[in-house]
Amino acid sequence: MPIYEYCCPDCGGKFDLLRRLSQVDEVALCPVCNREARRLISSFASFARDAGGVSTSIGGGSSCATCSSSSCATCG
């Protein structure tokens, strides 16, 4: 099972979850404040289809899946 990284828009905390591919789009709750967290872009994310070289600036697993910012605390 792949590991997915999530960030909480409420407290800004990040955590990892082991999930099946079928669970990827399910809601993940922040272990700290129990709020719905957003999945971060992982190194094998679906950005590959968008552009050839642009994805390299987003890679590294530190970007918020929603706002593409490294500080997802502002994307709620």
24 contacts Zn ion (rule: CB under 5 A): no
Give the amino acid at 57. S
Helix %, strand %, coil % of the chain (to 5): 20, 25, 60
40 contacts Zn ion (rule: CB under 5 A): no
71 contacts Zn ion (rule: CB under 5 A): no
Tell me the number of residues near Zn ion by CB under 5 A.
Answer: 7
Residue of 16, 23, 24, 32 interacting with Zn ion (CB under 5 A)? 32
Nearest to 40 by CA among 10, 56, 60, 57: 60
User: In angstroms, what is the minimal distance from the CB of 28 to Zn ion?
Assistant: 11
